Structure 1
Amino acid sequence: MSNGSTFPPHRRLRGALAVTLAVLVAACAAGWLLWRSSGGTGGAPPPGAQPAPTTSSSGSADASGGKAGHGGAGDTHAKPDGDGGAGGAGEDGGKASGPGDGSGTPRPGGSLKGKVVVIDPGHNPRNRDHGREIARQVDIGNAHKECDTTGTSTNDGYAEAAFTLDLARRTRTLLQDRGAEVVFTQDGDRPYGPCVDERAATGNKAHADAAVSLHADGSGAGNRGFHVILPARVSAGAADTTAMVAPSRELGERLAGRFVAVTGSAPSNYVGGGTGLDVRSDLGGLNLSKVPKVFLECGNMRDAKDAAQLTDAQWRQKAARGITEGITDFLTH
């Protein structure tokens, strides 16, 4: 072939078709990976996750053999360096507004009309003023635990109780936009508590289709990421989780998948072996629940990088959207 020759027309057409096909294959692969990361595997854990470990009745250990930050008394954290303070409900009152915050418009097929969702904002901003009342022991079926605790805080004093209440209100707005009936265990309208047994009872009385308890952890610096706490199988006293273990796991898996996709946060590097899932039998809010329920630890308040997210209103709006989408996935599939 001479240097001045050109390809025949049919060969040029064949080359163009090959390029087009390659682009389509790449686009399909990218779309499949996005679908996987956003929980499209039918409730699979976050990308790269291994099956979540099961635990004995003593609770679950973290990757280093220690207990998770929620392993203290009550359905709460072992308090590091203080009680976390009282705090308010967030600098903007938890309103779902502002650019890029997720308007709450339902995705196709994402209507929650007729569904009841219980949101449990962990702790109470006023618990610190009622130490004697929240120290009262309550029966959680397989043990007795404190009624409630103050929760933790960031090193700068932003209280977990303020964080959970702000996040709960944002989540409520988005869930209501999708047609759900949303019930709170508390809305900053109580002097303290409620106790962990009453928190579980709220979901039971509402015959909730799903219940999520919102928290942030109080572990050591360098421990980062979120994790979802799933109920263990417990049958003791008033506790019988037999019927709700399986649906609660599905709820937790879908919640974890959506939380990753929307917030960009990674699963915990110190609880759950990289899965973002942890199984516990020592939390009254789970033991006494008769409806599908999980705890979400949104990050570690004692780590500076996690704290920077938890204290950011725009990130909390993303977190609320991730929670809403996870609940929606669970209730509509």
Structure 2
Amino acid sequence: MTRAVRAVFVAALATVVMGACTTAAQTAPAPLPEKLPLGAVVVLDPGHNGGGTPAELNRQVPTGRGGTKACNTSGTSTNTGYSEHAFTFDVANRVRDLLTLRGVQVIMTRNSDDGVGPCVDERAAIGNRANAAAVVSIHGDGNDSADARGFHVAYSAPPLNDAQGEPSIRLATTLRDALAGAGFVPSNYVGSNGLNPREDLAGLNLSERPSALIECANMRDPIEAAILSSPDGRQHYAEVIANGIVAFLG
């Protein structure tokens, strides 16, 4: 992380919490452990995509709880126009590279940022077909409430299968702990202590593998937007997320 980006990151945390979190933010993520389960497969899901007509995006797909919902959405953006789909694609590719260096086989739900989909049900199916050890969906939130900021990690609740129970809760908690331990501040507007059980996210509901969805920050908050809009800020997110995934695999 460059000195300039580190200063923005620390200032952002100091605005939300004093002292302890600022100190944590100045600490670089710990190196990834060397030993990983042989043949571990991780599916990374960069939220949204850069293309698609309204008809394509609004095509109805199963929710996993008896209803239907839109195939996908265009996502949110910062107030200056940096899109969620670009942020998630960049971070996911950085996480992929870090995990690959440690021998993890990574499958991406999308390999471009100018296409359509895949729909949320197909994203879940990709993880199921791969028999993934973990499925991690990367997003950025968009809340216009004043002073709304912080990350949260969602998991399917109530669980619809065994994988959505303890394994997914443990994955979400491990990712939460990695983010909080690196100085990122848990959301002050949704969830509790950085965790957010959800029943409305089809990608989680339809998963048969340990799955979690990270909302890395509130993209509408100018302080957090400054961090996630910078390459060094995105690299820091990627390092921390990769550490969390490896901790779960270990």
TM-score range, shorter chain: 0.7 to 0.9
Give 3-state SS (helix, strand or coil) of 1:314's partner: helix
Instruction: Look up the match of 1:311.
Output: 229
Q: Which amino acid aligns with 1:329?
A: A
Residues 151 and 141 of structure 1: CA distance in aligned 2, closer, same or farther (over 3 Å): same
Aligned residues: 224
CA contact (8 A) 1:112 1:328 kept: no
Q: Which amino acid aligns with 2:185?
A: A
Mapped to 2, the partners of 1:259 and 1:112 lie a distance apart of: 22
What is the deviation of 1:141?
Answer: 2.4
What is the deviation of 1:253?
Answer: 0.7
| Structure 1 residue runs without a partner (length 5+) | 1-46, 48-99, 235-239
- Is 1:282 aligned to 2:196, yes or no? no
Question: Higher RCO, 1 or 2 (CA under 8 Å, sep at least 6)?
Answer: 2
CA contact (8 A) 2:48 2:75 kept: yes
Give 3-state SS (helix, strand or coil) of 2:49's partner: coil
Q: Which amino acid aligns with 1:267?
A: P
Instruction: Look up the match of 2:80.
Output: 156
TM-score (normalised: structure 1): 0.64
Instruction: Look up the match of 2:173.
Output: 253
Mapped to 1, the partners of 2:223 and 2:59 lie a distance apart of: 35
Give 3-state SS (helix, strand or coil) of 1:328's partner: helix
Instruction: Look up the match of 1:241.
Output: 161
Residues 315 and 112 of structure 1: CA distance in aligned 2, closer, same or farther (over 3 Å): farther
Equivalent of residue 107 in structure 1, options 33, 36, 52: 33
Aligned counterparts, 1:1-333, within 5 A: 106-109=32-35, 111-127=36-52, 130-142=53-65, 143-188=67-112, 191-220=115-144, 221-234=146-159, 240-262=160-182, 264-273=183-192, 275-332=193-250
Give 3-state SS (helix, strand or coil) of 2:155's partner: strand
Mapped to 1, the partners of 2:247 and 2:221 lie a distance apart of: 30
Residues 272 and 210 of structure 1: CA distance in aligned 2, closer, same or farther (over 3 Å): same
Give 3-state SS (helix, strand or coil) of 1:320's partner: helix
Give 3-state SS (helix, strand or coil) of 2:163's partner: coil
| Structure 2 residue runs without a partner (length 5+) | 1-19, 21-26
Q: Which amino acid aligns with 1:192?
A: V
Deviations 1:155-207 (A, max 9, x none): 10000000000000000000001100000000116630110000000000000
Query: Relative to total residues, which structure has the larger helix share, 1 or 2?
Result: 2
Q: Which amino acid aligns with 2:108?
A: F
Deviations 1:43-84 (A, max 9, x none): xxxx9xxxxxxxxxxxxxxxxxxxxxxxxxxxxxxxxxxxxx
Larger Rg: 1
Mapped to 2, the partners of 1:122 and 1:183 lie a distance apart of: 14
Mapped to 2, the partners of 1:154 and 1:118 lie a distance apart of: 26
RMSD of the alignment, in Å?
Answer: 2.1
Give 3-state SS (helix, strand or coil) of 1:259's partner: helix
Give 3-state SS (helix, strand or coil) of 2:227's partner: helix
Mapped to 1, the partners of 2:113 and 2:140 lie a distance apart of: 21
Give the percent of matched residue pairs that are identical in Structure 1 and Structure 2: 47
